[in-house]
Structure 1
Amino acid sequence: MFISPMRMDAREKPFSDQAYVFEPKIDGHRLLLSRNGAETRLFTRERRECTRQYPELLNVPADGDIVLDGEVSCIDAETGAEAAGLAEERLMLADSRKIHSFSLQKPAQYHVWDILFYKGRDLRGLPLVRRRAILESVLPENEAFRLVPQTDGHGEALYRTIVERHMEGMVAKRKSSPYVSRWSHDWIKIMNYRHEEVAITGYRKDGFGWLLSKEEEGVCRPAGMLEQGVHLKHRKAFKKLSKALVSGEDEQFVYLMPQIQAKVKSIGWTRHGLLRSPELIELKL
């Protein structure tokens, strides 16, 4: 059974409030788990079924039918730590042998933060704190299933820890909130954005996207694609300037000399050295 997930509002600065609990934001992708009888199925928030991609999550350590909400991440076996982008890589796999190898070398962990149904009972109308109590009572933790830790009221202290540990961000959740399948002000994400100075070294021919590069030791290396936060005025100014900077092209991109600079914010770097979800702050023309 797929249930459209509750979506989070966003704000820039952390806060503290005794009406909220605060959770670290897990570095992975949203995952909804539904077990009905002997069948367990997994879905992304876009309703894409990904049961095959995560065989180690099919043995749910709870009795009876259940629907859970949370985030899946993958662990780098060499370091024992979560690695940015590994869960998204797993999601793209289709070959069963590759999936099996991935599950052994980079096993998945399901970080559960909510329970929506249990043994035929719809729990979504209960307040968050009551659902959490039920979750803790019916789902024991193991290597594959973890409960997302919560901090009561003290969001700013948790956020300082998140920044120190270079984590993705945190989520504030109103204790009294029911679970609703839409955007809600009761759940708020506060991202730990990092800022970078980059050069725009090309653009996509089909659709919008600017190629980014980062200078390191006098050498420009690829840093990803900018698609967010670019207003029409930025696009017009860029188009006017870029005509004189073209250095080449191929079927997909027009390449530019690295003379247009930009300041962007992102949630860090992938293990392949690219910015994760960069967003434009300032275009330096």
Structure 2
Amino acid sequence: MFIPPMLLQYAKNNEPFDGISTFAELKWDGIRLIVSNMDELNLFTKNTNATAKYPELHNPPIPKGTILDGEIVVLDEEGRADFEETNAGFRSSKKRKPVVFMAFDILYHAGIDVTGLPLERRKQLLEETLQETEHYRIVRPIRGSAKDFYKIVCQLGLEGIVIKKKDSRYEKGVRSWSWQKVINYQKAEVYITGYSKKESSWLLGYQDGERIRPIGTMELGITQSARESMWPVFRSFKSGESKDYVYIKPVVRCKVKYRDWYKSGAMRLPVFEEFIV
């Protein structure tokens, strides 16, 4: 049985907050997965049935009639989530590394829909239902301040945290303010080196010694006014083009925030913030 997962909002100004009615937990950097162990086992991402892809998650340590929500991750030697390895394994089974399912919610218990129960109670049922193994683990709320926890997460270079209302019901397929994510973004100053002919994206370059190193494309955060202000630059400083891109001389810099770097040297999920004048 597939259940559309409850989605998160970004916390205001991407800042953590404390409250007696909320708790925080680590945000694992992986792929969302619903483990449905009803009449038969099914592993659902948001868009696909991935049961056959992850045999290490077969025979889950939960009884029939259980549905869990969580994140699959590939862990590195230090126990950190390696998103690039997780994503590569999802795209291709060749040399795929084993995943771990990080369960943070329970949606069905003993064949009964428990999404209407408060999150605190669902967390209790999760603890009672799931026996942790090498490939199945529980994501537990931290004790103490979300603000302090976020500082530690940033110091360790982890993805971020999720702040959840203790009494929140599971809102299927809804992007709810009851769950808010705070992302550990990195910051950088980069050059705009071109734009896509087909998509609303800009090419980026990063100062590496005396050269400008290509670091991929940026789509997020670019406003209409920012695009309009760049058109005179695009026209005046065009340096060439290909089938898909128009290239411009690296004369304009901007500030971006991003998740991290891919092993290829590309910047992961850059978001435009402002031009550097």
TM-score, reference length from structure 1 = 0.91
Q: CA deviation at 1:79?
A: 5.9
Q: Identity over aligned residues, as a percent?
A: 36
Structure 2 SS opposite 1:59: coil
1:4 corresponds to 2:17: no
Instruction: Indicate whether 1:208 and 2:207 are aligned.
Output: no
Partners of 1:54 and 1:258 lie apart in 2 by: 44
Q: Give matches, 1:60-79, under 5 Å.
A: 60-76=60-76
- Contact kept, 8 Å, 1:18 with 1:153, in 2: the verdict is no
Aligned residue type for 1:25: K
CA distance in 2, matches of 1:248, 1:42: 47
User: CA-atom RMSD, angstroms?
Assistant: 1.6
CA distance in 1, matches of 2:263, 2:19: 35
Task: Give me the whole-angstrom Cα distance separating, in 2, the residues matched to 1:164 and 1:79.
Answer: 15
The answer as to whether partners of 1:20 and 1:152 remain within 8 angstroms in 2 is no
Are 1:84 and 2:86 counterparts?
Answer: no
Contact between 1:33 and 1:67, CA under 8 Å: does it hold in 2? yes
Counterpart residue number, 2:120: 129
Number of residue pairs matched? 274
Shift of 1:128: 0.4
Q: CA deviation at 1:153?
A: 4.8
* Structure 2 counterpart of 1:228, from 197, 220, 231: 220
Q: Partner of 1:16 in structure 2?
A: 18
Q: Which residue of the partner structure matches residue 48 of structure 2?
A: 48
Conservation of the 8 A alpha-carbon contact between 2:34 and 2:67: yes
Pair 1:212–1:41, CA change in 2 (3 A) = same
**2:103–2:138 Cα contact (<8 Å) kept:** yes
Deviation, 1:7, is: 1.2
TM superposition shift of 1:80: 5.4
Per-residue deviation, 1:13: 1.0
Deviations 1:122-159 (A, max 9, x none): 11011101100110111011111111131145101110
Partners of 1:20 and 1:79 lie apart in 2 by 29
Q: 1:272 to 1:84 in 2, by over 3 A?
A: farther
Q: Distance in 1 between matches of 2:170 and 2:232?
A: 48
Residue correspondence of structure 1 range 248-259 to structure 2 within 5 A: 248-259=240-251
Provide the residue aligned with 1:160 in structure 2. 151
Higher alpha-carbon deviation: 118-127 or 51-60: 51-60
Q: Is 1:175 aligned to 2:166, yes or no?
A: yes
Measure the CA separation in 2 of the matches of 1:271 and 1:178. 39
1:204-253 CA-to-partner distances (Å, cap 9, x unmatched) read 11121111111122222222211011111111111211112222221111
Unaligned runs of 5+ in 2: none
Question: Is the partner of 1:52 in helix, strand or coil?
Answer: helix
Deviations 1:51-95 (A, max 9, x none): 23222112211122211111111124x6654223222222212xx
Whole-Å Cα distance in 2 between the matches of residues 219 and 41 of structure 1?
Answer: 50
Query: TM-score under structure 2 normalisation?
Result: 0.93
Assess if the C-alpha contact under 8 Å between 1:8 and 1:185 holds in 2.
yes
Contact 1:20 1:153 in 2 (8 A): no
User: Is the CA contact 2:65–2:112 (under 8 Å) kept in the aligned structure 1?
Assistant: no
In structure 2, C-alpha distance between the alignment counterparts of 1:253 and 1:280, rounded to whole Å = 19
Amino acid at match of 1:212: L
